[in-house]
Structure 1
Amino acid sequence: MRTVTFGMNISIDGYCDHTLFHPDPTLHDYFTDMMRDVDLLFFGRVMYELMFPYWADVARDQSGTPDENRFAATLTAIDRIVVSRSLTLKDDKAQIVRNNPAEALRQLKQLPGKKISVDTVSMLPELASAGLIDEFYLVVHPVIIGRGRRLFADGSLKDNLDLKLVSTRAFSSGCVAHHYHKR
């Protein structure tokens, strides 16, 4: 059975607005290294539209910094599933799931392969409550935002998620990466 991971940048107060973070080269390399163990990305529509075509353009044009170019090349080489009822794709590496994302992920988890990386905040409560997320990689940035989208909205989980801390890594930028397994 494949391992399903979830990784996200968050503020100290639990918000996950990527426009308010400023990753440094070592943080890009951290996420690039994580993606080397992944052979399938599982996106919601919003996150997919944030990540692609931006990173695809960076990979194609090599228009980022060296660490951004490495991340872009690694990310865009991975097959992806996008959950959307309305999106039409022109992406050779992507397939669309129109309904029941938890069941689709459950079936994908049973197939042979490397890790599956879930990258969607909107479906996170549903997928986590269904017991489908095995590992969490949360990178806490040294900023308090006080507004925006939280990783988990109030009342979005039926039960607590009981996690075990596996490792932490501090970056010179002040970010701290926490790696958890579900118990």
Structure 2
Amino acid sequence: MRTVSFTMNISLDGYCDHTMFNPSEEVLEYFTATLREVDLLFFGRVMYQLMFPYWADVAQNQSGTAAENRFAEQLTEIDRVVMSRSLDSVDDKARLVRSHPAEELLKLKQQPGNKISVDSVSLLPELIQAGLIDEFQLVVHPVLVGQGRPLLTGGSLQEKLNLKLVDTIAFKSGSMALHYLKQ
């Protein structure tokens, strides 16, 4: 069975608004390396629209820094599933699914392949409740933003989920990569 990894940038005060972060070259290299283990990205609409077409344009035009270009190339090569009731279409490497995200992810998890990266804060509680998230890879940035989408909202989980810290990486920028496994 494939491993499902929830991967997210987060502020020190618990918000996941990517527009508030400016990841360092080191952090981008870290995410590029984590993507090498992934052969499927599982997005909600908001994250998908944040990432695409932006990173696809960077990859095509090589318009970022060297680290941004490497990240963009790695990201855009990976197949994607996008959960959305409102999108009309997605890019050529993506498949649009309208309902039942936990059922869809379970089917995908049971197929042969490498790691699946889940990048959706809105779907997280449902996927945790279904027991589908095997690991959490969070990069905590040294910034307090005071607004945006929290990782989890009060009451979004029926019971707590115990995790085991298996790795940490301290970046020169002050960001920290934290890798947890579900216990």
Q: Which amino acid aligns with 1:102?
A: A
Alignment RMSD (CA, Å): 0.7
Give SS of 1:180's match. Answer: strand
Cα deviation per residue 1:63-92 (whole Å; 9 max; x = unaligned)?
000000000000000000000112122511
Give the unaligned 5+ runs of structure 1. none
- Is residue 78 of structure 1 aligned with residue 78 of structure 2? yes
Partners of 1:118 and 1:148 lie apart in 2 by: 19
Equivalences for residues 1-20 of structure 1 within 5 A: 1-20=1-20
Aligned to 1:121: 121
- Post-superposition Cα deviations, 1:16-67, rounded to whole Å, max 9, x if no partner, equal 1111111110100000000000000000011101100000000000000000
The whole-number CA distance in structure 1 between the counterparts of 2:127 and 2:136 is 12
- TM-score when scaled to structure 2? 0.98
Aligned equivalents of 1:61 and 1:89: distance in 2?
Answer: 23
Question: Could you tell me how far apart the structure 2 residues matched to 1:68 and 1:75 are?
Answer: 10
Aligned ranges 1:17-166 → 2 under 5 Å: 17-166=17-166
Is the contact between residue 90 and residue 96 of structure 2 (CA under 8 Å) also seen in structure 1? Answer: no
Q: For structure 2, which runs of at least 5 residues remain unmatched after alignment?
A: none
In 2, Cα distance between the equivalents of 1:90 and 1:141? 30
Question: After TM superposition, where is structure 1 displaced by more than 6 Å over at least 4 residues in a row?
Answer: none
* Identity rate, percent: 67
Aligned mates of 2:136, 2:14 — CA distance in 1: 14
The structural deviation recorded for 1:110 is: 0.2
For 1:129 and 1:11, locate their aligned partners in 2 and report how far apart those are by CA, in whole Å.
Answer: 24
CA distance in 1, matches of 2:80, 2:149: 24
Name the aligned partner's letter for residue 158 of structure 2. Answer: K
Separation of aligned partners in 1, 2:162 and 2:67:
34
TM-score by length of 1: 0.98
Which deviations, in whole Å up to 9, do the C-alpha atoms of 1:81-105 show, x marking residues without a partner? 0001121225111101111000000
Q: Does the C-alpha gap of structure 1 residues 163 and 64 become closer, same or farther in structure 2, counting only changes over 3 Å? A: same
Aligned-partner residue type, residue 55 of structure 2 = W
Measure, in 1, the Cα distance between the counterparts of 2:38 and 2:174. Answer: 26
SS in structure 1 of the partner of residue 133 of structure 2: coil
Please list the CA deviations of residues 110-141 of structure 1 after superposition, one character each: whole Å capped at 9, or x if unmatched: 00000000010111111011110101011111
